[in-house]
Amino acid sequence: MCLKKCCFFLPLNVGCTIIGAIFITFHVGELITHSDDTIFIRQVSHKWWAPVIMSPILTIGTVSSVLLVYAASKRKRGFVLVWIIVYSIIFIIYVIMGIVQLATAKPSPVILAVQVVIIVGLAYSLLITVAFYRYLGTVDSDDSI
């Protein structure tokens, strides 16, 4: 396991709780303000396919983040795995949407910077959560002996 702490000083379960809370806030905020100002499909959210892409991503992301907060507090390894799977898919989708938007729409530097921060933050969150998942695997196996 390469990471033993979140941000070099927080235990992994606290870091996962904070990560879950941050993504709950982000996804609920995106769901509430779903308009032309969404971050990854800016200026095309009026198209028919925009809600088809973003609504399931945001809803599933919110539910899995709630499960991550629960998993971090109760140390439930299966729910952590659900979050890892869901957010790995969301990470890939966000990277693809960012590349497509960069190639087609030429976003402003501010929007591009926000997208990069979200993608890098999501990658770091995945690293922390995978480390917590592996830690829970070692704890479970140590308890059974």
Question: Dihedral of the CA atoms 41, 45, 51, 57 (nearest 10)?
Answer: 20
Average pLDDT over residues 45-68: 78
pTM of the model: 0.78
Q: Helix, strand or coil for residue 11? A: coil
At residue 48 the predicted structure's pLDDT band, cuts being 50, 70 and 90, is low
Nearest to 130, CA basis, from 70, 68, 53: 68
pLDDT of res. 2: 60
pLDDT of res. 145: 39
| CA 19 centroid distance within chain | 8
At residue 115 the predicted structure's pLDDT band, cuts being 50, 70 and 90, is confident
Who contacts 105 (Cβ-Cβ below 8 Å, separation ≥6)?
Answer: 42, 43, 44
